[in-house]
Amino acid sequence: MTGEASFPLTYVGYYDNESRPVCGVAPVEEQVALYVNGQLLVSLMCTPTYLEELALGFLYNEGLIEGLDDVVELQICGDGRSVDVWLTYDLDMPSHRVITSGCSGGTTFEDVSDVHHHPVRSDLRVTPRQVTELLSALAESSRIYRRTGGVHAAALADGECLVCVAEDVGRHNALDKVAGVCLRCGHPTRDRILLSSGRISSEMVTKAARMGVPVLVSRTAPTSLSVQLARAWGITLLGYVRRHSFRVYAGEERVVTD
């Protein structure tokens, strides 16, 4: 953890025909600048927790690093408002930035219309029970959400339990934090299940493909482009997961009965 995840405040609550002041909290959103080799790469609107992991995961999922061996130094600067990363090599700063459909103004440097990922090959299979129980475990592990609401959660699972969990005001940031935690802790991401509380859009599928994840699960819906990419790259895409049901949008061959 780095900064605070919640901000105390007082609001007016209306209950039937009565109102009263209520002491509560809101999720923290801040702008954090990511510097690479002394140059500003991007500013991220995020929850200021696990910022080092967010930086690592973002760089990895954007294809700018291949692992921790590429990183010489990583530190939080500017009262927690910036992350400084120095690499073992010079980096040509990407010039084409895409504003994604993610909340809090997500950003990516990859043009998905011109991205050619290798297909994700895996013998992993999942059962309906695994899918629903793992997403329930994600909800139970979302501590910031239970306290404040208004944040997304992401997790990596090995099929039986959650390996790591991250939360952020941006669903794409939460996924990048998961990737960063896995890099730092040496957790493999291939042949694993990636879970998200938020909508699955094209950049989320791109990140999953980069991590080599064969199964991507969400509580909500995918976009049309995310379905097309998942089908093209061999990723199993599951949405609208509830206690007794879900929808399979791509890769149905990986879902088997109990």
Q: Which residues are catalytic?
A: 103
- Output the 3-class SS for 215-249: EEEECCCECHHHHHHHHHHCCEEEECCCCCCCEEE
For 87, residues 6+ apart whose C-beta sits below 8 A from its C-beta are 36, 37, 65, 70, 71, 72
Strand partners, 15: 18
Query: Taking a C-beta distance cutoff of 8 angstroms, is the pair 257, 236 a contact?
Result: no
Q: Distance (Å, rounded) from C-alpha 158 to C-alpha 170? A: 24
Helical (H) or strand (E) element with 154:
strand 152-157
* Residue 208 burial by Cβ neighbours in a 10 Å radius (0-12, 13-18, 19+): buried
Query: Taking a C-beta distance cutoff of 8 angstroms, is the pair 27, 48 a contact?
Result: no
Buried b (16+ CB within 10 A) or exposed e, 116-139: ebeebebebebebebbbebbebbe
What's at 147, amino acid-wise? Answer: R
